[in-house]
Amino acid sequence: MNIDISTLRINGDRLWQSLMDMAAIGGTDKGGCNRQALTAEDKAGRDLFVSWCREAGCSITVDEIGNIFAWRDGRNNDLPPVITGSHLDTQPTGGKFDGVYGVLAGLEVIRALNDADITTEAPLEVVVWTNEEGARFSPAMLGSGVWAGVFDLPYAYARTDHDGISVGQALEAIGYQGSQKAAAKPVTAAFEVHIEQGPILEQQDKEIGIVKGIQGMYWFDLTLIGKPCHAGPSPMDGRRDPFMALGPILQRLYAAVEAKGEWARVTFGDIAVEPASRNTVPETLTLAVDLRHPDKHVLDTLEAEFRLIVEEEAANFKLGFDIREEWRLPPTVFDARCVAAVGAAVETLQYDALEMVSGAGHDSGYIAKVAPTSMIFVPCKDGLSHNEAEFAAPEQIELGANVLLHAMLSCSDFVEG
């Protein structure tokens, strides 16, 4: 049988239905998903994915950090696989598409190849990476980070949630602490398709983002240390109040980021004080600081400015301070061959595309450290993500999965069934 590979497409209706079926697990009243890592809901989502993969003829393995690998045989299983995947865990008020789209699009590639009776020369593998979001366990992208050698396994197992439950305990509780070693293996190419999580594709009326890399991101916990005292009797001019320095620090840091151009980012996503009492000046104020930029030199400069600003303002208000690094992901440049494979797929399919850099972190940022990697973006409505209203239209979902299909085929030496 002769197959015109350029005409091969995924089944968009089937992919959409799979997304909606998965979204029902942990579904929220506002139409989103709460399927946080290693919860009962995450287990149910994993179980459903595994059952679908087995129905599609895949074999399943699970590694020590709970990453799931669904393997489809190739003509030559001695060749390194072409892999794709993302994550099934969500934010507490997450959407239906972030991460899960990349997992189920990979499954749909396998289903489409089964329908067409196509065997690839190299095997294919769809991966679910553990705890990408970092919502329950910090840091984010823990499963792919262990696999890529960024984190060691004891460190990962020891991470705890707000209730003191560790990753190791949670993996055991849901039955996904596998026996396969959590370590990178030879890979021919790795792809991840994802909603953009930003507004650029929608604003520029583009169907596909050809992702060349991921901007760097540095996470810090800034603690300002003052002296607790009574809110009533203590004069303002004699206080060592951490909040007095907070305003100038924020103002100066926002200005420093603005000076670095449109790709610079700073976010303050969490704040805590001790003691947390309405009528006591706090002794400590701890602020989560997230710095991002696609250029490492600019990001390093921004970090240096952040540290200097804190030092100067703490001195101005007679405060102590501590800056603790929580996580550091340098900018990632994706493999040129994999980026070209995505570009070639877009050309074959005649979709309107834009080359771009990801503003969000993804498992592919760690995978790229050990394997040739690239990503594919599709637009999402208003650029909204990490939100229950997150939405990508069925036709956009289908186009991205078609690009994934053709990019994977181009790297797996397609052969007819």
Question: CATH no. for residue 306?
Answer: 3.30.70.360
As given in the structure block, the two tokens for residue 215 are 């901007």
Task: Judge contact between 124 and 311, C-beta under 8 A.
Answer: no
Domain co-membership, 317 together with 404: no
| Residues 375 and 394 grouped into a single domain | yes
Same-domain status, 151 and 241? no
Across the range 334-342, mean pLDDT stands at: 97
> At which of 329, 344, 365 does a domain end?
329
Q: What is the dihedral of CA 195, 391, 351, 120, to 10 degrees?
A: 60
Using an 8 Å Cβ cutoff, are 124 and 417 in contact?
Answer: no
Domain check: are 58 and 146 in the same one?
yes
State which amino acid sits at residue 255: A
3-state secondary structure of 137: coil
Q: What is the pTM of this model?
A: 0.86
- Residue 179: which CATH number? 3.40.630.10
**One domain, residues 195 and 205:** yes
Whether residue 250 is found in the same domain as residue 208: no
61 and 93 fall within a common domain: yes
Q: Give me the number of domains the chain comprises.
A: 2
Does pLDDT of 416 surpass 70? no
Averaged pLDDT score across all residues of the chain: 96
Question: Is 47 in the same domain as 159?
Answer: yes
Range of the domain at 235: 217-329
**How confident is the model over 110-127, as pLDDT tens digits?**
999 999 999 999 999 999
Of the candidates 225, 65, 93, 258, the residue with the CA atom closest to the CA atom of residue 150: 65
- Same domain flag for 233 and 199: no
Question: Does 2 have pLDDT greater than 80?
Answer: no
The pLDDT tens digits of the residues spanning 255-292 come to 999 999 989 999 998 999 999 999 999 999 999 999 99
Of residues 339 and 6, the one with the higher pLDDT is 339
pLDDT at residue 371 in the model: 97
Compute the 3-state secondary structure of the chain and give helix, strand, coil in percent, each to the nearest 5. 35, 25, 40
pLDDT of residue 283: 98
Instruction: Using alpha carbons, select from 110, 168, 192, 98 the residue that is nearest to residue 388.
Output: 98
Q: Are residues 397 and 270 in the same domain?
A: no
**H or E element: which one contains 231?**
none
The residues with which 288 forms a beta bridge, in sequence order, are 221
Cβ neighbours of residue 388 closer than 8 Å, sequence gap 6 or more: 28, 30, 31, 32, 33, 93, 94, 95
pLDDT confidence of residue 361 = 85
Domain end call among 289, 304, 329: 329
What is the model's pLDDT at position 306?
98
Q: How confident is the model at residue 413 (pLDDT cuts 50, 70, 90)?
A: confident
39-98 pLDDT, tens digit per residue, is 999 999 999 999 999 999 999 999 999 999 999 999 999 999 999 999 999 999 999 999
Structure tokens at 57: 């003829």
**Cis, peptide link before residue 139, omega less than 30° from 0:** yes
Strand partners, 230: 280
Provide the pLDDT for residue 415: 60
147 and 282 inside one domain: no
